[in-house]
Chain A
Amino acid sequence: AQSVTQPDIHITVSEGASLELRCNYSYGATPYLFWYVQSPGQGLQLLLKYFSGDTLVQGIKGFEAEFKRSQSSFNLRKPSVHWSDAAEYFCAVGAGGNKLVFGAGTILRVKS
């Protein structure tokens, strides 16, 4: 069965510093991978997604993610974090049909 692991429950970075959020997945075939963000009091919003092709995917708000099949990873990165990036981030993998399996989430705190 498909599964997603986000090893970091909380991460704190300084404003202006770089960010990397880790995601590892378990899936037999080529995965469909997603990163969603949930700002406080809001629903989830798609940041980016990967299906095939170029393994470095660009998303909204200056985020990017890199698919590494050998490591079963799809880590999210941003070169310079802004205070408004404080939120919870979810990695997800397509699970057949239209279903997604989500990781437990990583809460990002940004300190000024």
Chain B
Amino acid sequence: DVKVTQSSRYLVKRTGEKVFLECVQDMDHENMFWYRQDPGLGLRLIYFSYDVKMKEKGDIPEGYSVSREKKERFSLILESASTNQTSMYLCASTTRQGAVRETQYFGPGTRLLVL
């Protein structure tokens, strides 16, 4: 079974703090994604990575950056957290072979509260 794990289920941070969200997958997937989930808005893509050290902006990259130094790990960074970044963050991974037809496998999510 594919497993995608996220470092924290819940996080509480202060405005202006630098925040790191970590995601690890164990299936040797090339592609990894970070989404933000908000009620009434569904999932919105923040960034994705299709290989080590490669990244592309998604639909809402402002205020975020990412890092992928190893194939299995994809980190989301909030350089200076703001209250409007309070949200649920979901990581996903997929193999590249079938492109968009491939199933995305999701982690359990990190619920971030910025005070």
Contacts and interface: CB of A to CB of B under 8 A. Distances in A.
Interface of A: 4, 6, 9, 32, 36, 41-46, 49, 51, 90, 94-100, 102-105
Contacts of B75: none
Given A46-B104, A98-B94, A100-B100, 5 more contacts: A43-B109, A45-B106, A49-B103, A90-B42, A99-B58
Contacts of A98: 31, 33, 48, 50, 94, 96, 99-100, 102
Interface in B47-81: 48, 50, 58
Interface residues of B, number: 27
B50 to A, nearest CB: 7
Nearest to A98: B31
Contact of B100 (A41, A45, A95): A95
A96 B42 contact: no
